[in-house]
Amino acid sequence: MSPKYKKAIISAAILMLWPAAQYAMDLEVGMVYGRRMVADPKIRGVYGNGTVYDPFLAVRLWKGLAVGVDYEGGYSRTGKIGTYQEPTSLKVTGSEFFVRYELNLKFVSPFVKVGYGSYSYQQTIESPHIAGHVVDGTKSCPSFAGGLRFFPVKFLFLSAELKYVPLKVKPYEEEVDLGGMRYLVGAGFRFSF
């Protein structure tokens, strides 16, 4: 992701969250971690599935409605590719804005979440036939998630989340799907103002 694009995302997040934070009752900070599946069978065959971590910051605007930002990192895999089984690596990261709605029950809150993010992907192939071959791109796409949050105490929550990202890219003539499901668990803190 270019520095110019990162600055735009950070600026937009601040502009979006700052006025909301003036009137919000709750600020949330947390992290989820878990398994990341790769949808494309060819890509999965070379690199396999992996793990991701996802820190987030959210502001509750009204009852169960919240907006926030998060960053997904951690998927960095190596493998062998092609006829000559040459060493290769793939790294995918992303940042997104999201809107979440949760139903606030006593100790558990089911939620749904919709986001829109920018994902960067980088593939490197170490080959004597093609010197320093690197695919480096960025693609924006939506994401969809749902799950449960548990509140053992008022300010602490534990979460379980199922998330889908349809990240289809076309670095060459053929489109590949770098997206897939994420099975995430995590924890965070909710600060009331």
Does residue 77 contact residue 37 with C-beta atoms inside 8 Å? no
Please give the tally of structural domains in the chain. 1
CA 97 to chain centre: 10
Residue with tokens 């998060």: 70
Quote the CA–CA distance of 139 and 129 in Å, as a whole number: 28
Q: What is the mean pLDDT of the chain?
A: 86
Give the pLDDT score at 24.
Answer: 47
Prediction pTM value: 0.81
Which candidate, 156, 49, 70, 169, places its Cα nearest to that of 113? 70
For residue 125, pLDDT over 90 is answered with no
Q: Distance between CA atoms of 35 and 177, rounded to whole angstroms?
A: 17
* Domain carrying residue 70: 3-192
State the pLDDT at residue 136: 83
What is the CATH number for 186? Answer: 2.40.160.20
- Cα separation, 184 vs 54, in Å, equals 9
